[in-house]
Chain A
């Protein structure tokens, strides 16, 4: 047996461990705190260290941001991300269900294809889309961007609903079918409610994938349908960089992603990694 240790005994190893964790905590938090400081600093104090004038703070960046084109860009982001997520869920969840419960010899192929679509560099999708959109006049339209975002959302939704729906017990589905429900009814009334948390988390993640996208929007949108991540770059010009607006816009852009921290983080594991067991 080990000698029973005295509780709260000081140990150098423990102290080193805690110090390491604190260093990581500073690393994780510093940029976030810094973004808030930048957002609240008046322009003439920007280049002064915060500890020299810690009370020189202003809220003037907020109305300034509201008057810029940024709110409209946020709206564009919201519309395109929502529609592409909704479409991906409506089309993808039944597909994921079929892959989870149906019999097929091509499941490995399907899983590779889905993974590959999620891993393939966006530049490969965006070049042909750009040429196509140029020809058919889809550049700088919502539908053009939504079409591009389907590349992001659909493979994710099919993949993660496949993972989460395979955990639904077969007996549940059989019972519903024996009671005379059709396959579609079984999916809607039995399977989806039983897997709701996982599916909601999947939708949230799919939404975020489009919401956070920079590359597709940079190529496909111009002024009318520019999304928020690209619109932030308007605050950067050759002459000067409007750090206050950038910081407040970054904070506003990040806000919708906060629910992920609250409730979806355990599903990130599922939908990103699939079955990762120890």
Chain B
């Protein structure tokens, strides 16, 4: 605010008043449950057996020895890692393609956004049908040429790829939109200067556009990474964590321990682990964000 000096303190007070309800609501609706999560993780509560007396660190010491938990972290990293690489690659290629290859197909842009707004449970069900060999038109199509498409959902890496593919379909538009916005912020002068100096389109892309996109790419990758950690409907609907435990990511494992095995406190401890993970990444994003807005 500019200098309306006498009014300033009054103003700041009314700003604080306006902030109050939001702060209270966040405390009640969000912070309170989170405190509940931390508290539960230090107790021994079981939905069937009830309370075990006293506070304990047992849930966390058990985590360290739980091979299902450690396995779930690897599954999570595989799903997130492959997923983010696939989404960021596809989304960036499409964004760059829309700008540089087919700039005149304006209406195509809208089509590419559609998958993003489909609810995840619908995404999961549609892809489940596409991965059901007896039903899928993809299998039927390849059958015409005598090629048998393998059943994705019955093998470990097949199931992981299936979830990565479905998630990529649902999420590349988000990457695309952010990269399109970033591309529009890049001045075309550099491109032109480089091509006048004799650089090919490919060289311009690799040497100029991509380096300038780096902050946006890193940001979008982090955003997607944190979202993929929260995968739920895709796993629940498409594989139910299977085959075996091949797609049982940590988030899903917390759900199983809490709501299927009734081990509420143990589930809360897994949730605490995920929360700390999210806290580290969001801190990174917030710092990048404040630097970008200051620049």
Contact = CB atoms under 8 A, between A and B. Distances in A.
B26 A274 contact: no
Contacts of A170: 1-2
A219 to B, nearest CB: 7
A100 to B, nearest CB: 10
A2 interface: yes
Contacts of A150: 25, 29-30
Nearest to B91: A24
Contact of B258 (A95, A96, A123, A177): A123
A208 B117 contact: yes
Interface string A243-274: 10011001001100110111001101100111
Contacts of B286: 108, 111-112, 115
B93 interface: yes
Interface in B12-58: 12, 14-19, 21-23, 25-26, 29-30, 32-37, 39-40, 45
A233 interface: yes
Interface string B120-153: 1111011101100011010011000000000000
Interface stretch (A42-50, A62-70, A194-202): A42-50
A226 interface: no
Given A21-B94, A276-B216, A268 B177 contact: yes
Interface in A51-105: 87, 91-92, 94-99, 101-103
Contacts of B23: 95
B7 A18 contact: no
Contacts of B245: none
Interface in B205-248: 212-213, 215-216, 219-220, 223, 226-227, 229-230, 232-233, 236-237
B75 interface: no
B251 interface: yes
A74 to B, nearest CB: 12
A191 to B, nearest CB: 11
B169 A94 contact: no
A214 B137 contact: no
A275 interface: yes
A47 B137 CA distance: 9
A21 B101 contact: yes
Given A102-B16, A123-B271, A257-B119, A274 B251 contact: no
Main secondary structure of the interface of B (DSSP, over half): helix
B285 to A, nearest CB: 6
B293 interface: yes
A277 B220 CA distance: 12
A49 B137 contact: yes
Contact of A124 (B275, B283, B287): B275
Given A170-B1, A257-B119, A258-B117, A120 B29 contact: no
Contacts of A232: 121-122, 125
Interface residues of B, number: 118
Contacts of B22: 91-92, 94-96, 98, 154, 158
Contacts of B93: 20, 24
A48 to B, nearest CB: 8
A214 to B, nearest CB: 4
Contacts of A223: none
Contact of A121 (B196, B271, B290, B295): B271
A238 B203 CA distance: 55
Contacts of A27: 90, 169
Given A123-B251, A177-B4, A250-B126, A101 B15 contact: yes
B30 A117 contact: yes
B1 A103 contact: yes
A34 B129 contact: yes
Interface in B48-94: 90, 93-94
Contacts of B258: 123, 127, 130
A268 B171 CA distance: 13
Contacts of B137: 34, 37, 49-50
Contact of A112 (B118, B127, B201, B282): B282
Interface in B254-295: 254-255, 258-259, 264, 267-268, 270-272, 274-275, 278-279, 281-283, 285-287, 289-290, 292-293, 295
11 contacts: A18-B101, A28-B112, A29-B114, A31-B169, A119-B227, A131-B45, A183-B11, A183-B15, A214-B233, A261-B113, A261-B117
Interface of A: 1-2, 13-14, 17-18, 20-21, 24-25, 27-32, 34-35, 37-38, 46-47, 49-50, 87, 91-92, 94-99, 101-103, 108, 111-113, 115-125, 127-132, 147, 150-151, 154-155, 158, 170-171, 173-174, 177-178, 182-184, 187, 208, 211-212, 214-215, 218-219, 229-230, 232-233, 236, 243, 246-247, 250, 253-254, 257-258, 260-262, 265-266, 268-269, 272-278
Interface of B: 1-2, 4, 7, 11-12, 14-19, 21-23, 25-26, 29-30, 32-37, 39-40, 45, 90, 93-94, 97-98, 100-102, 108, 110-123, 125-127, 129-130, 134-135, 137, 140-141, 169, 172, 174, 177-178, 181-186, 195-196, 198, 201-202, 212-213, 215-216, 219-220, 223, 226-227, 229-230, 232-233, 236-237, 251, 254-255, 258-259, 264, 267-268, 270-272, 274-275, 278-279, 281-283, 285-287, 289-290, 292-293, 295
